[in-house]
Structure 1
Amino acid sequence: MPQHIIPSEPWQDLEKPNRGLNRDQCHSNTPIGVRERAADGHNGEADLFAGTWPTSFSKGLRHDENGIVDAQVYTEFLEEVADPTCTDNQGNRLTLFDTPAYSGPFRTAPSEGGEFRWRAWEGPILSHRLGFNGLDAGGLGIAPAPRLGSDELAAEMAELYAMACLRDVPLETIRDGAEGTDKVLGALGRLEWFRKDGCPKDASGAEIGKVPAARRVRDGEGLSSRTLFRGSSQGCSDGPYVSQFLLQGYDPLTSDAAHVQGRWLANTTAPRAMPFGSFRVDQRVAPQAVGVDYLRDWAEWLDVQNGADATGEQAFEACGPKFIETPRDLATYVHFDSIYQAFFNACLLMLGRGIQADDGLPEVWSSRAEDSGAHWGGSHALSILAETATRAMRAVRRQTFQVHNRARPEKLGSVATLVANGHGAVLGAAEPFAAAHLEKLESAACEDFSLVEAIAAAPATKRFAHNAVSHKGLPQIDRNLLLPVAYPEGSPMQPSYGAAHGAVAGACATLLKAFFRTHALDGSRVTLAEAGMERVFVPAPDGRTLVESVRPEDSAAKLTLNGELNKLAANIAIGRNFAGVHFYSDYFDSIRMGERVAVGILAEQMANFRGAAKMSLETFDGDRLNIVGGRSCGSEIHIVNSTPELWWTRHLPEQAGWAG
């Protein structure tokens, strides 16, 4: 097997060692040279808006009172991200990151006294290191992010405002269109992007291309209470909003007899935890405080943009753990999770329930006692989740820092606020685009409800400690359109696009779909009932317990294993949107990038397996993908009604390998 060679200065030419070793030949249908075709294409705003960069990530750097980043330090930041310069005393390069972060005083302080500490950036040069498994970080790409002034970005921001309005409304209530959901839906439905007969345009006024059009489809349906805030893949709009893999547990003490019969014991209550050795992994979360949002005060928002670590200001409910019932609960889960935790738990649940392995894999799961670490067995599935998550993280970090450097939603809220209060001139060349953005946002209104005005009227409660000069010199804000955020520290210290949670979710869900039998031999999707999960649960109205859903459309005979895994990936990625720290396109493109990371790793491992094996799965876009092979013949990727070449780079606009 070819061995990796790590260059002494890996950021110089990541691909030279692999090209010399013909590494692409290990799985023959992976397109050779795909990394060269995955061009580094951002949306051009870093050049168009140079000097102010309102749509570029600048958190942790010095900003003026209007939230405009210092041009010199931002330029140095970009240079350091592209080519780290920090060396030791002997001149050897180190894996450090030397950038002039903000070092001045903060305007506010922790509510319980003291001073805020500074936050560090998260993995800014992680992708400069050569990977040991699967494709390298430079071999994958995602489409340019939506631009300021486009119908898509306005719709994304409007959706985040809508999420903030409904953050404490139970997800099952949102599904019914109640408690204000109908008004929010009506307002969103006025946007060109969400209208079924709409003709959305990009920032230049041209018709959108195939990649944005694919993001607009959202599971083939128009906007409704059933599709609101849902994912884009099969099953995401079916049944309860929350995947069963984030709710159900498994109790081996009551379920052994059921396992022997190939079905889950239909006891009167649902287990809430999975066994992990002698421990139990509880599916409940410690809920964040209802109605408490952050970064609605300009001084607090500005401190967080300058890098203040306000994590300790998070408020929690005192009533104890609960199941994921509301958008805020889901935002809480993805605030504190280990990034692949939900998929590790899902794997434990499926192994415990005795869900069958993919039909093309060796028979190592016929008994729970026979695995013993076998290749393609349960232990392999659990371990490869962690391995693949780290590879997805490396790949997505390259996109976030080295390519797109997209601003977080909290910064876009400030752009709308500046324009709405007559301060748009400070945005420089971005001002007309920001004005168009605000105009599109304001069109999200119907009858007696305006989404923008609902945000302007939202509480701007001070959450941190202030003093007499906290607001000195700040712009006059009468119409506050800052995005209410669920986390006091706002977003993580990394750009928005792609999303780490999204990429890891896409990769790990793909692994589970490959390892477990999600489709019958005739190609039909395996239902939850057929997999042994015979009941579908939702949280009770207070979230303290689970109750069996009585909706006919929630039948375990209708919901599918594939769909619930797709839904799990969407829940984890879009949960970050509910918090206000990611956009919809971050989810859409990142899960597909993670999917390709996982397929690359599976194909590489398949090529080194001693016997013949095959893994089959349905992709997030509905393709039927097979990975076949063994040590004697390498491995191949086959895609029904497409080619690996088209599929691999479908999400890049220069390839546009979408059907139609």
Structure 2
Amino acid sequence: MSIMKNDEKDERKSYEIGPVKAKIRRKQSASIREEAAEFQEDRPLPPHPCNGDEELYSNKIGNYSKGLPHNSLGEVDPKAYEAYMKALKTGDPVNFETIPLGGVVKLTNPQGAYAFDLAGPDSHHLGMIAPPDFSSAWEAGEMAELYWQALTRDVPFADFGTSPHSKAAASDLSSFSDFRGPKVGGMVTTENLFRGNTPGDLVGPYISQFLWKDIPHGATTMVQRYRTTVAGDDHMTTYKEWLDIQNGLSPAALNIFDPTPRYIRNGRDLGEWVHRDFTFQAFLAACLILLGFGQSALDLANPYLSSATQIGFVTFGGPHVLDFVVRSARSALEASWFQKWLVHRRLRPEEFGGRVHNHLTGAASYPINSELLQSEAVSKVFNTFGSYLLPMAYPEGCPTHTSYPAGHACIAGAGVTMLKAFSNESFVIPNPVEASADGLSLLPYSGTPLTIGGELNKLAANIALGRDTAGVHWRSDGIEGLKLGESVAIGILKDYKDTYNEDFCGFSLTKFDGKAITI
């Protein structure tokens, strides 16, 4: 058997062509990765402020404790909370197994808060503002909005302008001194009720075109009619039911489903959609719809729009966009989970509803802002349901992880930012539609033209604030979560900007605050 020299072996094994050989390519690859890591490492560390409720209230009334054991007021057992905090502070997997639970429901993945990722900013390297504190007028306004969203779940969005319930909601929310939803002339109106704050949110129908239009899905087309629950299917309106759920018991009731699938036409439909979706579902669908619009819907900086001989595919084509939308979802959740468990531990709205109920029934005394206690929202809920608890769309209430920020919102912020980076945001969406009041058909929409950028922002708000409609999140969970997810996506795009061979001047997009940037 003949023996080859080393250089002969290398020659026989290496047949690649291109501008550089394997050894040089290896060094270039390492350099790109090192530069990205150094860029992330050199960024200033952000502060991580909290609202101070955990230190202020020894009974932890301002913090998340669902699933742990509670007393008859729904206040958490101090020793259980201490064990919960010990586990979070140490990060020791053994300590998580010693957290006392109040029932059968388990906490959702608190150890996800410690995960590292290999692209984009580390989860601990992104900051947020502190959420509203327990006794603030800001918190009062957000809770009033949630009561009204529960009261108007069955009002079609198309009827908001004429419904007495939506008119009452707009009027009541306008009276709050620190309500931070969109306003016109300082007033909440039926046109901006329950909407987001980003450019495009106030244009056209409440629901984004990307939640209504047919989805090109490989060899088939998906019609966006979905299973929903029947009118009046509200839960956790009795105190025993509320307390059992806080202690981690299984719900006594189940959702009652409408036998007819419908286009999303009201808050109940939207709340059920974000109850059953998988992480990046809305943004995968939006991506497929966008790709179906053709090249004119692509970002003007796409290097293949001007090529006479090539089209994009692995880079700057469908697989590239789809991958970035999907890969940003988990990174956004990691950023969310760090803030949820290791910074804020904000209580859920259903927990706050129990505080309102116990305060107004005289069972306890809590520092709840008087604007909420004296509002029409609170009295209307009591007159309708016989308690001051927040009526929930889901029998189990909120998930067993803390409130701020909303995971759905973080994924929405990241997914929509990725889509804007690859899209022509000013492209006008053809043949726009809106759902009929019964959700059985789509009708032509003939109002102000709807653009990709505006409808993507609206999609982000629909997904983020749709969880509010169900009662499981606060407005600030959604609005600030969108910003956090946006930061995640921008960080990933920065890490990848130097990895392409094409003549490419950078990703351009408009942020949620209206600022245009190029990465």
When normalised by structure 2's length, the TM-score is 0.89
Q: Do structure 1's residue 142 and structure 2's residue 142 form an aligned pair?
A: no
Contact 2:432 2:444 in 1 (8 A): yes
Structure 1 residues 455, 312: closer, same or farther in 2, change over 3 A? closer
Distance 1:365 1:310 in 2: 58
Structure 1 residues 286, 72: closer, same or farther in 2, change over 3 A? same
Q: Do structure 1's residue 291 and structure 2's residue 299 form an aligned pair?
A: no
Whichever residue aligns with residue 400 of structure 1, its letter is K
Whichever residue aligns with residue 233 of structure 2, its letter is V
Counterpart for residue 60 of structure 2: 53
Secondary structure of residue in 2 paired with 1:574: helix
Counterpart for residue 377 of structure 2: 451
Distance 1:440 1:504 in 2: 33
Structure-to-structure mapping, 1:120-131, within 5 angstroms: 120-131=106-117
Stretches of structure 1 lacking an aligned partner (at least 5 in a row): 5-17, 88-95, 105-117, 195-214, 250-273, 426-430, 445-449, 461-479, 519-525, 628-660
Distance 1:516 1:352 in 2: 12
Structure-to-structure mapping, 1:44-443, within 5 angstroms: 44-50=52-58, 52-87=59-94, 97-103=96-102, 118-174=104-160, 176-194=161-179, 215=180, 222-249=187-214, 274-310=215-251, 313-318=254-259, 320-354=260-294, 355-363=296-304, 370-371=311-312, 373-425=313-365, 431=366, 433-434=367-368, 437=369, 439-443=370-374
Whichever residue aligns with residue 459 of structure 1, its letter is F
Q: Which of 429, 432, 437 is the equivalent residue of 1:541? A: 437
Structure 1 residues 356, 483: closer, same or farther in 2, change over 3 A? same
Structure 1 residues 47, 22: closer, same or farther in 2, change over 3 A? farther
Q: Which of 490, 496, 516 is the equivalent residue of 2:423? A: 516
The structure with the greater share of residues assigned to helix is: 2
Contact 1:219 1:237 in 2 (8 A): no
Contact 1:304 1:310 in 2 (8 A): yes
Counterpart for residue 208 of structure 1: none
Contact 2:255 2:395 in 1 (8 A): yes
Question: Deviations 1:116-154 (Å, cap 9, x if unpaired)?
Answer: xx2222221112121111011101121111012211100
Question: Deviations 1:248-289 (Å, cap 9, x if unpaired)?
Answer: 12xxxxxxxxxxxxxxxxxxxxxxxx2221233331110112
Contact 1:146 1:152 in 2 (8 A): yes
Distance 1:321 1:313 in 2: 18
Structure-to-structure mapping, 1:33-44, within 5 angstroms: 33-34=43-44, 36=45, 38-44=46-52
Identity of aligned residues (%): 33
Contact 2:159 2:437 in 1 (8 A): no
Counterpart for residue 503 of structure 1: 410
Question: Deviations 1:540-562 (Å, cap 9, x if unpaired)?
Answer: 12111101134xxx233xx2221
Whichever residue aligns with residue 125 of structure 2, its letter is G
Whichever residue aligns with residue 291 of structure 1, its letter is G
Distance 1:347 1:542 in 2: 27
Distance 2:437 2:306 in 1: 38
Contact 2:62 2:347 in 1 (8 A): yes
Contact 2:464 2:478 in 1 (8 A): yes
Secondary structure of residue in 2 paired with 1:458: helix
Counterpart for residue 13 of structure 2: none
How far did residue 192 of structure 1 move?
1.4
Secondary structure of residue in 1 paired with 2:99: coil
Structure 1 residues 401, 218: closer, same or farther in 2, change over 3 A? farther
Stretches of structure 2 lacking an aligned partner (at least 5 in a row): 1-27
Structure 1 residues 455, 33: closer, same or farther in 2, change over 3 A? same
How far did residue 364 of structure 1 move?
6.7
Structure 1 residues 233, 443: closer, same or farther in 2, change over 3 A? same
Distance 2:397 2:30 in 1: 42
Distance 2:263 2:173 in 1: 28
Distance 2:194 2:373 in 1: 20
Structure 1 residues 625, 144: closer, same or farther in 2, change over 3 A? same
Distance 1:217 1:241 in 2: 13
How far did residue 190 of structure 1 move?
1.6
How far did residue 189 of structure 1 move?
1.6
How far did residue 221 of structure 1 move?
6.3
Question: Deviations 1:349-396 (Å, cap 9, x if unpaired)?
Answer: 0111214321112217989x944x421211111111111000000000
Distance 2:306 2:89 in 1: 46
Counterpart for residue 5 of structure 2: none
Question: Deviations 1:611-631 (Å, cap 9, x if unpaired)?
Answer: 33221111000101101xxxx
When normalised by structure 1's length, the TM-score is 0.70
Distance 2:282 2:157 in 1: 19
Q: Which of 605, 618, 626 is the equivalent residue of 2:518? A: 626
Q: Which of 436, 444, 448 is the equivalent residue of 1:555? A: 448
Aligned residue pairs total 488
Contact 1:54 1:68 in 2 (8 A): yes
Distance 2:36 2:325 in 1: 23
How far did residue 609 of structure 1 move?
1.7
Distance 1:57 1:25 in 2: 36
CA RMSD of aligned residues (A): 2.4
Contact 2:67 2:246 in 1 (8 A): yes
Counterpart for residue 645 of structure 1: none
Whichever residue aligns with residue 246 of structure 2, its letter is Q
Contact 2:144 2:377 in 1 (8 A): yes
How far did residue 82 of structure 1 move?
2.6
Q: Do structure 1's residue 490 and structure 2's residue 430 form an aligned pair?
A: no
